Amino acid sequence: MTTRLFLALGLACLTLPLHAAPRTALVPGGIAHIPLGPINSGRPEARFGGAPVLVMQEDKRWVAWVGLPLDLKPGIHTATVKQGGDTAEMPIEVGDKAYPVQHLKVKNRRMVNPDPDDLKRIEREAATQNEVKTLFRDEAQPEIDFVIPVKGRRSSTYGLRRTFNGEPRAPHRGLDIAAARGTPIVAPSGGVVTHVGNFFFNGNTVFIDHGQGLISMFCHMDRVSVEAGSRVRQGEAVGTVGNTGRVTGPHLHWSLFLNGTPVDPALFID
């Protein structure tokens, strides 16, 4: 049975004030905040683009936090919500956003034009990262009030359209924070370390699963002080800033995934 019982609520979510971090941004790369109903009605299940969505309690009601892909077209998109025997479609009106261009120079030319062996490694690593970033671990109330993972200057914002040595490459799907090599990196929120590895582009990398598809990825690290399977608390050290992988200097690259899509981490800390 399909119904539109939640239609009015879905439209209202565009103007409702937030009661906790993060803040919404109804643009590609942003996040939507959708009220689903009172908590006495049982936990709903929500999906967007076929992927499960974070659902939690907030102010005696169920709400969903939905990650909006960077390549999402402006217009009305829908999240599907199941509760009891009913299925509802929740509209999300997504606006447009023009992200600026950033031009970078990289000394190691293989980091711009990898050789055949590099490409094979990159393909294997992409499969691993895709598996890790789309995990959905059940967590009743994920900790979404984040802290900044490292002290430093924000050197590259999310969504930048990038060129490396004059050649166009994929947009920047994370937040870069420049800091001296060895600067401590901490968990922005509690969670479970799901993967630790070294990748061609990302260098030394740590994934932290905060629950219900909310996942942090830290890249270019120098030292890693956690292991896969370990649980970390908010503010706990996980390693230090480095310059491993494709970099122009020491910094932390922080990607944040929500329902499998990278969203702007600044929405969780500003």
Q: What is the pLDDT of residues 152-197, one digit of tens each?
A: 999 989 988 767 777 767 788 999 999 999 999 999 999 999 999 9
For residues 221 and 170, the answer to whether their CB atoms sit within 8 Å is no
Q: What is the CATH number of domain 2-94?
A: 2.60.40.1590
- From 3.90.1150.10, 2.40.100.10, 3.40.50.720, 2.70.70.10, which CATH number describes the 101-269 domain? 2.70.70.10
Strand order through the sheet with 101-104: 101-104, 161-164, 167-168
Nearest 10 degrees: Cα torsion 241, 139, 141, 1: 130
Strand 2-3 and strand 86-94: pairing?
parallel
**Average pLDDT for 221-236:** 97
Identify the residue with better confidence: 142 or 19: 142
In three-state secondary structure terms, 129 is helix
Say yes or no: do domains 2-94 and 101-269 share a fold.
Answer: no
The reported pTM is 0.87
> Rounded CA gap, 82 and 242, in Å?
44
Residue 9 has what pLDDT? 37
The pLDDT, as a whole number, for residue 43 is 87
Mean pLDDT within 101-130: 85
Q: Where in the chain are the domains?
A: 2-94, 101-269
